[in-house]
A = this chain, B = another copy of it.
Amino acid sequence: MYIVIVGAGDIGSPLLEIATAGGNEVVAIERDEERAERASRQYDCLVINDDATSKDTLEDAGADRADALISTTDQDATNIMVCLLAQELEVPDIVSVVHNPEHMNVFRQIGVNTMQNPQRLIAEYLYRAVKRPSIVDFMRIGDQAEVFEITVTPGAPIAGKTLQEANTEGLIGGQTLIVAIERNGEGDPITPRGNTRIEADDLLTVYSGEGATPEVTDIFGHSEDHN
């Protein structure tokens, strides 16, 4: 895949790392000379040190034959200009970071995929780390439901029980589903069945229709979570 990445700053840099590591043909455009040089040293890609709001620059980066363009600068106005020019050059897939939520609609209007306010995503993780320290990672499903990863503490109500037993005892309600189990720090999770026994220190992937509320996390033995 041929990907043009605009901006080699805080977000653009790890993106360059991921995209080059993924075996793609990557070209970066960065206006700041110092950043451009750093990116050129660190990643296996061509880095163009120029202004991406110029069509010449985009053409130099091969945008007219690229499969995708990702705009990551910290200025929404710059990102939108880049996306509009990319549309003119008929880049099939155009994605942009959007910093100000008010601008989301403008990007949508012109038909650009967006990633809204990335800093807010981080903020949510930090907040969760404090409010629900037991939750290792999580993903929202709709308004309330969540999939989350949680460790089973030694004295947890569910520790030592099979899923069937846990169901029978009402520990796991109809809204809750244990999706996968990671044990002993091994990378490949077990797909749980009725007779699979939950052990202390298991890292569970859990789906809960009502979210990771204290009622739900309690059965995994976490009383430190806050309401």
Give the B-binding residues of A (Cβ under 8 A).
1, 3, 10-15, 17-19, 22, 53-56, 67-68, 70, 72, 75-78, 80-81, 84-85, 87-88, 93, 95, 97, 100, 102-103, 105-106, 109-110, 113, 115, 117-127, 129-131, 133, 137-145, 147, 149, 174-175, 177, 179-180, 182, 186-189, 191, 205, 207, 209, 226
Contacts of A75 in B (CB 8 A): 77
Are A123 and B18 also in contact (CB < 8 A) when A88-B106, A187-B143 are? yes
Residue in A67, A105, A139 with the greatest tally of chain B CB atoms within 10 Å:
A139
Supply 19 further A-B pairs (C-beta < 8 A) apart from A17-B120, A53-B77: A15-B127, A18-B123, A55-B102, A70-B130, A76-B81, A77-B78, A77-B80, A80-B80, A80-B84, A81-B106, A115-B125, A137-B139, A137-B140, A138-B139, A141-B189, A141-B205, A142-B187, A144-B188, A145-B205
Q: Which of B15, B138, B182 contacts A126 (CB 8 A)?
A: B15
Query: CA A3 – CA B128 in complex, angstroms?
Result: 12
Contacts of A187 in B (CB 8 A): 142-144
Query: CA A171 – CA B78 in complex, angstroms?
Result: 44
